[in-house]
Structure 1
Amino acid sequence: MSRIGGRNVVFAWVVGVLCTAVIVTLGILTVPLVTSGLGMLSPAPAESGSTDAAADGPAQCRDLYTEPMWAALQYTPGAEIASSTDQPVSTAAEFVQALAPQVRFTCTWTSDSGTISTTVASVGTDAGSIAASALPPAGFSCTDNGDRVRCSRADGELIETIEAGAGIWVSTSQTGWHPERYAGRVADAAFAER
């Protein structure tokens, strides 16, 4: 068999190996995108009572997160999410008991960095004004945020936020893990769903 002039066997092998390496690398980088994309295509399981809640707010944990925020949380090392109807996690336990929020769902994230617990619940329409007067003595600072009141406190690794108004309660407790503007973005999503 005769050789075609101008071809170098060594150069062809080097280029072939580099092309194969690029294809393998792209395949490896694509795996997380494919798995999360397939997860978005499958319908989320319906939670009990979600039909009524959907009319006036989010029905499940996934409804609280934009796509970029969901991806950032999921790809935090060791991240896992669990949904339940547990009562809100808060150091203001007496306040929580007094308002008796009717929990729609609680999202609990755990990761190597720490934990985040977010609760969405129904409360009386006066919950915001009650929070503004009851929480400052417990170390919270409260501000009006449109039709709701936002109260927050920080104590070392713990950051707590409670937003209430118009019959909706959103509370977040972050220990060690503090994604950028997490509490505000989650509350905005919960109140926007009304």
Structure 2
Amino acid sequence: MAGVGGRNAGFAWFVGVVSAAIVVTLLVLAVPMFPAASRWISEAAGVPQPTASAAATSAPVGCRDLYNEAAWAGLRWTEGAEMVASTDAPVSTAADLVAALEPQVLVTCTWTSGRGEISTTVATVPPDAGAIATAALPPLGFECAPEGDRVRCSRTEGDLLETIEAGGGQWVSTSQQAWHPTQYADGVAAAVWSRAG
């Protein structure tokens, strides 16, 4: 079959490759604009956008994220230590407060060892959860005090040390039964609120 006059296969291949390269380059340059374009389209359609703090609280969090290197090593190397991650509800004696606030659990980390058990839950809660906790927990034996932009309530009964912190839409609760690593609650709270900052 005779070729069509005026066409050159080599030139056609060259033009095709150059065109493909231009398209790929334009896509690579456009990728950083996809989030902004999506946000603009959502705003134009009237879809509400999350605030910076809401976006931070919804960021994925895992048990390993809650501990600095020293704390992680100390927990892991405790005799018989085992850790299970889940989305179980917070372990707390303040069952009515938990039911009222309905924390949306991001992760619950349960540690067991020869020394005892620790359960820590990170969750999202309504922005006024700190004020609600301050009003509801003292009658249950908790002592509450402001801790930066959040409130920390804690109680001790025998071998049980319980801490609940809430503020800025964040919730962290820890129940330590017999096993009390040094400054455990401080370290976990620092990790959680630094992620939200």
Calculate the TM-score normalised by the size of structure 1. Answer: 0.71
1:120 and 2:122 equivalent? yes
Give distance in 1, aligned partners of 2:56 and 2:111: 22
1:47-67 Cα offsets, whole Å, 9 max, x none, are xxxxx9766556100000001
Superposition map of 1:18-167 within 5 A: 56-57=58-59, 59-167=61-169
1:79-108 Cα offsets, whole Å, 9 max, x none, are 010000000000010110000000000000
Residue 148 of structure 1: how far off its partner (Å):
0.1
Uncovered stretches (5+) of structure 1, i.e. residues with no partner: 1-51
Tell me if structure 1 keeps the 8 A contact 2:57–2:169. no
Aligned CA RMSD, in angstroms, stands at 1.5
Runs of 4+ in structure 1 off by over 6 angstroms are: 52-55
Counting aligned pairs with the same residue, the percent is: 62
User: How many residues were matched structurally?
Assistant: 143
The code of the aligned residue for 2:127 comes to T
Calculate the TM-score normalised by the size of structure 2. Answer: 0.70
CA distance 1:183–1:86, shift in 2 (3 Å): same
Give distance in 2, aligned partners of 1:69 and 1:58: 20
Tell me if structure 2 keeps the 8 A contact 1:125–1:165. yes
Uncovered stretches (5+) of structure 2, i.e. residues with no partner: 1-53
Give distance in 2, aligned partners of 1:160 and 1:69: 18
1:193 partner SS: helix
Which structure has the larger Rg? 2
